[in-house]
Amino acid sequence: MMIKSDICIELHYLGSLEFFTRLINSKKIILEVSDYFLKQTYRNRCYVLGPNRIQMLTIPVHYQKKTIFRDVTIDYHQNWIKNHRKAVQAAYGKAPFYDYFYDLFDQVWVSKPTYLLDLSMSMMTVCLKILQIDMSFNFTSIYKQEVQKDVLDLRNIILAKKPSELRSFYRPISYYQNFGSNFVSNLSILDLLICEGPNALNILKQSTND
């Protein structure tokens, strides 16, 4: 049985199954919100499975080279909310639990939070509520190159451009998916929740490498 540890990790937008296996197997979670925003990471993107296979959903943001993550604001001049809603509807409109959960996510989108941090936290709160997991978080106030002695440093380890097979956190466990005959692993938690509903937590636990 895995021994739970305290972790420090950056916040992801509708995080992958790999990301959520880290959350559910941690005693204490410190979210790194004081480092510089990095583009082309899970901070502002996720992946879903639609009729045209894997689709990346990206949130456009305002930032400069040394913008701290908690200060990153969302660009609403681009019509990304409409695109995300349409993509999720096309991908999961006929999935078993779409009617149960879609509105919970949609409410977050249409609320239009100013900051990426707030949007991602709200989405993660929805996901944890569906999973029926009561979890609290601490946030960094300043960036430190090294974390506390007894905290596992997972910052910038789970990266969108590096496959999960290069790490030892996630073990793909197949489940029902709305499209395709071949299982696609490590998509956004959205895929698992809307396809599996109450069984999602069980799949997530099985997907954790001991």
**What confidence score (pLDDT) does residue 2 get?**
53
The rounded distance, in Å, linking the Cα atoms of 171 and 164 is 9
The rounded distance, in Å, linking the Cα atoms of 37 and 131 is 28
Question: How does residue 121 score in pLDDT terms, banded at 50, 70 and 90?
Answer: very high
The rounded distance, in Å, linking the Cα atoms of 134 and 122 is 14
Domain containing residue 99: 5-206
Q: How much is the pTM?
A: 0.95
Helix (H, G, I), strand (E, B) or coil at 153: strand
- The domain total for the chain is 1
Question: How does residue 1 score in pLDDT terms, banded at 50, 70 and 90?
Answer: very low
Q: What is the pLDDT of residues 58-101, one digit of tens each?
A: 999 999 989 999 999 999 999 999 999 999 999 999 999 999 99
Q: In what order do the strands lie in the sheet with 5-10?
A: 137-139, 26-32, 5-10, 151-153
**What confidence score (pLDDT) does residue 5 get?**
85
Residue pair 188/182 in contact (Cβ under 8 Å)? The answer is: no
What does the mean pLDDT of the chain come to? 95
**Structure-token match 């959205």, residue found:** 190
